[in-house]
Amino acid sequence: MRDRAPSEICILVVDDLPENIQVVKALLEPHGYDIRTAQNGIEALEFVALTPPDLILLDLVMPGMDGFEVCRRLKQDPETWHIPVVIITGLTDREANVRAVEAGADDFLIKPFDRVLLRARIATSLKTKMLQDAVFAYQQELEDRVRERTRQLEVTQQVTVFGLSKLAESRDNETGDHIDRMRSYAYEIAQHLRVQPDFQADIDGAFVRQMYQACPLHDIGKVGIPDRILLKPAKLTPLEFDIMKTHATIGGDTLRAAEQAGGSVSFLAMGRDVAYYHHEKWDGSGYPFGLSGEDIPLAARIVALADVYDALTSARPYKKPFDHETSRGIILEGSGSHFDPRIVEAFLVCEERFKEIRKEFKDSGRLSPTQELISQLEAVEEPLL
């Protein structure tokens, strides 16, 4: 923080009498100050709005808007409250002084005054403002650092989720289009619920963003399922299905351990909930814990419907895709048993967007890396059989 030269300091003199302005200018201009003038309150406020000065010398008694009102407006404005206002007045009564203090005046000079006292008051006020400006600048620097650090953390979170979801996708028999669709469905539902009275306390912008990021982690536990079951091209046996169901606890346990190691990182907490509970059902008949109703975390309830809808409308080795109307009917049947009825209602409101999303992320038919490797090995081995 350096002292500024007088020529760099702008002082606004506000007085309706030109002779008073000339007196102040004569006292200050020889010392190099940049003196600007205004002859009424409106003119002063307009000047400050365009070119905020370093200090204001303000007369109290002016026609129209008096100095009390000018000072009050300046001190109530977040953009100008820090500009020191020194009252220059011939009023000596106590009531006028009290009103000026209540309006926010920083200092007083009673007419007539001498140049030494004027310069001393100006120097004190400018020093105070310089210190305030330094504090503001430091606060702004800290805020900028916090914003940058927050941005870096958000990027790190997104990269972490992307890496984990790619790990799951590398072994899953579903395509990346499934993830894109599913989290888009979940996003639409969450955005609708966000403005509903029942959910306003639970869903805000941060919730929606975190859930969108967490959706790809719902099946991360499939990395722990044997290939003979995970990649089986036919319907699973009851025993195989029991093994497949463990992907929920494998994924949840993995993300819980990562969350604990990272100090309860919120985005992993939601990923953990989605992984653990996206196969729970509203009536308690789901897995792995048999939770019911609102004991199931909200994000998992939303993802559950989005996941099922995409499974219904997608082809699988053991079934053809259902059309929207058939899938819609199955979801309606599950309202109150499989799904939270309020989330089903949100689905019905958003179903046109679901159709659009389905078209936008139409299955590309691309294979996961594991499937591509298996196909390549089969192509090599087949002539040898």
Query: Are the C-beta atoms of 74 and 106 separated by less than 8 Å?
Result: no
Over residues 280-299, the mean pLDDT reads 97
CA 105, CA 277: separation in Å to the nearest integer? 61
Residue 252: which pLDDT band, with cuts at 50, 70 and 90? very high
Question: What mean pLDDT value characterizes the chain?
Answer: 85
All domains in the chain, ordered by first residue: 6-142 (3.40.50.2300), 172-384 (1.10.3210.10)
- The pTM assigned to this predicted structure is 0.60
CA 68, CA 87: separation in Å to the nearest integer? 9
Residue 302 is which amino acid? I
Chain center to CA of 104 = 36
- Amino acid 259: pLDDT: 80
Strand pairing category for 107-110 and 55-58: unpaired
Residue 25 CB neighbours (<10 A): 16
- Amino acid 264: pLDDT: 58
Q: Which two tokens stand for residue 265?
A: 């990182």
Which range of 71-75, 143-147, 361-365 scores highest in mean pLDDT? It is 71-75
- Amino acid 373: pLDDT: 39
- Amino acid 305: pLDDT: 97
Over residues 94-98, the mean pLDDT reads 73
